[in-house]
Structure 1
Amino acid sequence: MRHFFHDGDTVTLSDDYLFSQEDWIIDYDRNENNEILNSSGSKVLKFVGIIINQDNQDVVISFPKKYRVTDIEKDTELILQVLIKDYSENIGEKQVESNYPFASFFYVYDFFKDYGLIYTNKVFNKANVGGKINWDYTIKNSMKFISNGSLIHIPLYFKKKHPFSDFLTECIIYCIDYTLDKFQMIIKLEKTGHKFPEYNFFQDKKYVLDRLYSIRNNTFSDLMLNLIDELIKFFSTFDAQGNIYIKNHYFSSVWEKMVEKYLTVNFESYNVASNSLEFKKNIHKVEFKKEVFRPNERNENNSFSPDHYYFSNNKQYIFDAKYYNNFKGIDYKQISYLAFLYNYRHHEGQISPSFEKTYSALILPGEKRNHKVHFKMKPKYNKEMKNIIIVEEYLDIKEVIKCYLNKDFSIQ
């Protein structure tokens, strides 16, 4: 049975058994000023991920905030790919937690799709089958006769090559077909089509790993070494007991990376008339960076970094990724960025500010594309900065994910 939620959903008592304590936080109702309205908090999910119980009967998916679920199987696979990508690229950071070696499985599967299974050609010498005569073997093993003064060998032995699967082949088949059987509800890939090994590789992992290390010590091809390393990771990581999970409790960092790529690939301009961002698919016009600024003259170690910063000629763009369901109150951090950078000069002796125009945006996940003004300065508070506007730009998170994974996506 499938259960799906969204990061930030409230967990009811009937759902509580599906999650560990690290998967939720206590949250309280708050007003526009972020003040707590009552002391009776509720459990709110704080992760994106997939949990599969031990007998494969229940699958729990926690989608990112505002993710629009239209096809549960395809959408689950898309989220799995995001989690695996982040896990593979950030090994050691522990943002993505998993007790199943998905990254190794996909490496092995890609190897199988590109190169097929590994077979060793073994040579057999067979009598009277035709082909190329193996004279050395024939001379040693045949009976000798003299006929009309000539030496006759009976029978003649011929070389025959037969492909035999070796231990690595068995490992590949087990890794792929075991995983696809185990996760048939969320991974829709074709199996190898070969007989599943009778040996239970997980019952005696020490034997399996010893064999793999032994093969590795006698392997010199980088391609094969990489394959063996991933098989070692696969069989050493997985424990076939208990629930299987892959989770990210800090998906805000993934949202930031996805937004950075989306901006770099598709950002075209800022529309002053509508106070919104303009996008054009795959334009690759600009490159946003996480620029570091050090405004404290007394301490150079003090710094701030907008998530996405870019300047060109007389314009600067200060964008920040916000992984929120909704906004309450003012984003004071973004206002402080503007206060520091509105009259920014590249050099201390510079008389005039470097930029005539400064554009500011908070970029949030949405079910569809939308935008609105978040903040506009009242002139009585700061006449010099009376023109500053901060917009909230909502991007369809599903399309942002597709762009991040180099899949086909659309811009609304």
Structure 2
Amino acid sequence: MDQQKIEILNDGQTVDEEFVKTWEILDYCDQYNGTLTISFVGVIIKNKKILFSFPKHYNVTTLRENQTSCMKQILYILSKNKATYGSFDKGLKGEFPVKAYHDILNHYKKYGLYLSNESYFENGYEGNVDWNRTINKSNKIVQKNGVIFFPFVIKKNRDKSVFISECMNYVLADASNYRDFITTIIPYGYTKINPIFKNLKLVINELKRIRNLYFKDIEKILINNLINYIEWKSKAKDNVRLLTLKFDNYWEMMIDEYLNDKFIDIQCDDIIWGESSNIKFYKPEMEYVESKETIEKSKNRNLYKVQYDHISIDNENKRVIIFDSKYFNNEVNELNYKQLFYHYNLMQKYKDFKIYNGLLIPTEREYYTKVHIDRMDLDGVKIIEHYINLNDVLNHYSKKI
């Protein structure tokens, strides 16, 4: 990864119209009152130049020495999750087809290049005789005791490399070109590429034509993945994008792993971090905010539900710990009404429990806290802002996947 060709910025950073036009990233920016701000995390490669957007709270100036390794780490997390779960970004245009590639790769690892078993016939006297063809096509000699046919028509089988295997070969070889940026791609020592792949539209049409000739699910899935990859390649050319517009979803997912592995306790509003945590957090199903009686009486009225990001219920010690993941540009500067409502809702459900309530926010600094709201002297409600080092969370998560 040539550092000289990389342009670096942050998610949430303000950019001008000329910059947006040059990189063709209008779809990846927020627009408000004539101001354009970056709204993605990941990489865009255009004409061999690289634009990389780091998450909010990653200080690109003070952490310059670690930029390349952090880039690869972020792209590894994006690609690994997209390959396993698909994308949070439904309908994201022009993105490298990570899942299609990995499905093709896994098929290759398990079965090798696709081979079709082909039957053929030849004349001879040893092997599996096809009597119908022998009777209809061979010479006949009539004798007293019957008819002799010669030569016999022998049925044999051979493995034939078909068009699908050439498509697999092309995809695995093409993806290898992006291994510097997407580290989940494996190097591939490919054979010579068929000249037909100079016309990708023709290849796509042929794949769509032959798709109906295959009946096994594994074959149909393989062909669909080949179509997805080659359709992307036909449009993207050498412009490659691997990014997310929803890094807040990644932050929630990563911080959940971090909590479940490192959360030990809460003391004096601070989280005690360590190893081998016995406290487990989970994301419950959505639940109604009104009583069963009220819900049963309602007819056409909209009924509202809530869902907590991270919750741990300790029945033995009668306490509830609830956290909400927040991916903000800066420290919190306004009241979080949703989290306040969560607290009151839980107070109704767990009347004899102590409730610990907090917001989990990334920072470039070491872990610290701030009081968000303190109503302990009024009704016992207190919400703490927990600022957690982004690099620590990234490092922890990337080792787990």
TM-score range, shorter chain: 0.7 to 0.9
Q: Does 1:345 align with 2:341?
A: no
Question: Where does residue 252 of structure 1 map in the other structure?
Answer: 248
Query: 1:308 matched to which residue of 2?
Result: 310
Instruction: Say which structure is richer in helix.
Output: 2
Matches within 5 A, 1:7-406: 7-11=11-15, 16=20, 17-25=22-30, 43-53=36-46, 55=47, 57-67=48-58, 69-71=67-69, 74-75=72-73, 77-81=75-79, 84-85=82-83, 88=86, 90=88, 93-94=90-91, 96-122=92-118, 132=127, 161-181=157-177, 183-187=178-182, 188-191=185-188, 193-200=190-197, 202-205=199-202, 208-209=204-205, 211-240=206-235, 243-263=239-259, 265-266=260-261, 268-273=263-268, 275-278=270-273, 280=275, 285-289=280-284, 291-292=286-287, 294=289, 301-313=303-315, 314-333=318-337, 336-337=340-341, 340-341=344-345, 344-346=347-349, 354-367=351-364, 370-375=366-371, 383-385=377-379, 388-397=382-391, 399-400=393-394, 403=397
| CA pair 340-245 structure 1, distance change in 2 beyond 3 A | same
RMSD: 4.4
Q: Report the CA distance between 1:116 and its aligned residue.
A: 0.8
Read off the aligned partner of 2:351 and give its amino acid letter: S
User: What secondary structure does 1:388 align onto?
Assistant: strand
C-alpha separation between the residues in 2 aligned to 1:63 and 1:200? Answer: 35
Q: In structure 1, the residue corresponding to 2:323 is in which secondary structure? A: strand
Per-residue deviation at 1:189? 1.5
Tell me the secondary structure at the aligned position of residue 234 of structure 2.
Answer: coil
Taking a change above 3 Å as real, the CA distance of residues 213 and 203 of structure 1, as seen in their structure-2 partners, is closer
Q: Which amino acid aligns with 1:81?
A: S
What is the CA distance between 1:51 and its match in structure 2? 1.4
Q: Quote the offset at 1:195 in angstroms.
A: 2.4
Alignment size in residue pairs: 374
TM-superposed deviation, 1:132:
4.6
Q: Following the alignment from structure 1 to structure 2, what is the Cα–Cα distance between the partners of residues 311 and 167?
A: 56
The answer to whether the 8 Å contact 1:97/1:246 transfers is no
Deviation digits for residues 154-181 of structure 1 (CA, Å, limit 9, x no counterpart): 9999876543210111111122212323
Deviation at 1:345, TM superposition (A): 2.7
TM-score w.r.t. length of structure 2: 0.73
1:320 and 1:362 in contact (8 A); partners too: yes
Report SS of the residue matched to 1:383: coil
Q: Distance in 1 between matches of 2:351 and 2:187?
A: 57
Aligned partners of 1:376, 1:200: CA distance in 2, in Å? Answer: 59
| Distance in 1 (alpha carbons) for counterparts of 2:208 and 2:380 | 68
| Structure 2: stretches of 5+ with no match in the other structure | 59-65, 142-146
Change (3 A) 1:245 1:87: farther
**CA 1:21–1:229: 2 relative to 1, 3 Å:** closer
**Letter of the aligned partner of 1:176 in structure 2?**
L
Partner in structure 2 of residue 3 of structure 1: 7
Q: Distance in 2 between matches of 1:120 and 1:230?
A: 18
Partner of 2:400: 408
For residue 319 of structure 1, report the CA deviation from its aligned partner: 0.7
Taking structure 1 as reference, are residues 125 and 222 closer, same or farther at Cα in structure 2, changes over 3 Å only?
closer
User: What letter is aligned with 2:358?
Assistant: A
Task: Find the aligned partners of 2:201 and 2:115 in 1 and give their Cα distance.
Answer: 24
Q: Which amino acid letter does the alignment assign opposite residue 223 of structure 2?
A: I
Q: 1:303 to 1:126 in 2, by over 3 A?
A: closer
Q: Secondary structure at the match of 1:345?
A: helix
* Secondary structure, aligned partner of 1:199: helix
Does the CA-based 8 Å contact 1:307-1:321 persist in structure 2? yes
C-alpha distance after superposition, 1:49-104 (max 9, x if no partner): 32121x4x11222232245635266335315415735872557x44x443543321
Measured after TM superposition, the shift of residue 108 of structure 1 is 1.0
Question: Identical aligned pairs, as a percentage?
Answer: 21
AA at the equivalent of 2:310: H
Query: Equivalent residue for 2:144?
Result: none
- Offset, 1:46: 1.7
Distance 1:5 1:186 in 2: 17
Write out per-residue CA displacement over residues 19-57 of structure 1, whole angstroms, 9 at most, x where no aligned residue: 5234334689xxxxxxxxxxxx9753221132121x4x1
C-alpha distance after superposition, 1:360-397 (max 9, x if no partner):
121122447x433321766xx66134673514141545
AA aligned to 1:361 is G
- Provide the secondary structure at the position in 2 that maps to 1:240: helix
**Separation in 1 of the partners of 2:265 and 2:288?**
23
Contact 1:306 1:337 in 2 (8 A): no
Structure 2 Cα separation of the partners of residues 282 and 194 of structure 1: 50
Paired AA for residue 344 in structure 2: F
Give secondary structure in 1 for the equivalent of 2:167. Answer: helix
